[in-house]
Amino acid sequence: MRHEPIAQRAEHLNHRYRNHAAISVMELALRDHDVGQTALVSSFGAESVVLLHMVSVLDPDLPVLFIDTQMLFMETLTYQKDVADKLGLTNIQTIRADPAAVEFDDPDGTLHQFNTDACCALRKTIPLERALAPYDAWITGRKRFQSGTRAELPFFEPETDTRLKINPLAMWGREDVEDYIINNRLPRHPLVAKGYPSIGCAPCTSPVKPGEDPRAGRWRGSQKTECGIHFVNGKPVRIGKEDAA
């Protein structure tokens, strides 16, 4: 791996792969020495199966970090097992919060009712940051169409001084995701058909009405606007609903 500033390395990688398609970016990045040890982070949510399928084709033993907040829908837990089996993914690593931390900060499981940011930090952000510590890069499902702030989202971006984020689907539109799922006959999360186009923890996710933003059902009725699983300089950053992975 080059010994150069992470931002410069990301710039070189973006130049190298600027004309490549999503699965080509994935394939080349997984063996590029300038990228290093890589994991996929997956929520096994509504659109997660696209990247999971690509990984199954390219490297079914790639580490897939699945964050189990222990407040997920039962449908998500079942879907995670079904997709892993169907696609032959052999290295699913389930990430959970430290039991002692949960016992101290949320002993009765009600933290989300009065401090959603603290609950996400406890059950999602901190466990993920700990799990990502050994890796040089991680793959996300972020896309340019999801918000104006992502209009220039690159394939590779620096996250910390030592770690990259890889966004293979950066150039995809909503229709590309749909076409990929249909053309590859991939299983859909069962809650999508019940009006959940964006799926998080059960207490903080509700169905979306026709015409509403796809993420309107996340933290409905609260001021919370971010999931908080992305980092800048090793710290969680405030990510808007439209920006969340």
CATH of the domain at 23: 3.40.50.620
| pLDDT the model gives residue 146 | 54
- Averaged confidence pLDDT in the chain: 87
Give the pLDDT mean for 78-107: 97
Q: Does some domain include residue 238?
A: no
For 19-57, write each residue's pLDDT tens digit.
899 999 999 999 999 999 999 999 999 999 999 999 999
Q: Which segment, 25-29, 156-160, 179-183, 212-216, is predicted with the most confidence on average?
A: 179-183
For residue 216, name the pLDDT band (cuts at 50, 70, 90). confident
The domain containing residue 141 runs over which residues? Answer: 6-190
Number of domains in the chain: 1
The active-site residue out of 119, 120, 204, 227 is: 227
Catalogue the long-range contacts made by 24-28 (C-beta closer than 8 Å, 24 or more residues apart).
25/155, 25/166, 25/168, 26/51, 26/54, 26/55, 26/58, 26/139, 26/166, 26/168, 27/58
Catalogue the long-range contacts made by 102-105 (C-beta closer than 8 Å, 24 or more residues apart).
102/70
Indicate the residue type of 70.
Q
CA nearest 153: which of 1, 10, 8?
A: 10
Active site residue 119: no
Q: How many other C-beta atoms are found inside a 10 Å radius of the C-beta of residue 128?
A: 21
Residue 15 and residue 109: Cα distance in Å, rounded? Answer: 47
Using alpha carbons, list the distances in angstroms from residue 196 to 57, 73, 203, 208. 28, 11, 13, 6
Q: Does some domain include residue 113?
A: yes
Q: Does some domain include residue 182?
A: yes
| pLDDT the model gives residue 8 | 93
CB 217, CB 207: distance < 8 Å? yes
For residue 153, name the pLDDT band (cuts at 50, 70, 90). confident
**β-bridge mates for residue 95, sequence order:** 67
3-class secondary-structure state, position 102: helix
Judged against a pLDDT cut of 60, whether residue 151 lies above it is answered with no
Residue 63 and residue 69: Cα distance in Å, rounded? Answer: 18
| pLDDT the model gives residue 164 | 95
For residue 144, name the pLDDT band (cuts at 50, 70, 90). confident
For residue 145, name the pLDDT band (cuts at 50, 70, 90). low
Q: Does some domain include residue 204?
A: no
Residue 121 and residue 60: Cα distance in Å, rounded? Answer: 29
For 205-214, write each residue's pLDDT tens digit.
999 888 877 7
Strands 92-95 and 64-67: parallel
The DSSP annotation for 119-178 comes to: HHIIIIIHHHHHHHTT-SEEE----GGG-GGGTT--SEEE-SSS-EEE-TTTT--HHHHH
Q: Give the global pTM.
A: 0.86
| pLDDT the model gives residue 197 | 87
Structure-token pair, residue 60? 């079914």
Q: Does some domain include residue 163?
A: yes
**β-bridge mates for residue 218, sequence order:** 205
For residue 77, name the pLDDT band (cuts at 50, 70, 90). very high
Q: How many other C-beta atoms are found inside a 10 Å radius of the C-beta of residue 54?
A: 23
Q: Does some domain include residue 233?
A: no
Q: Does some domain include residue 208?
A: no
Q: Does some domain include residue 81?
A: yes
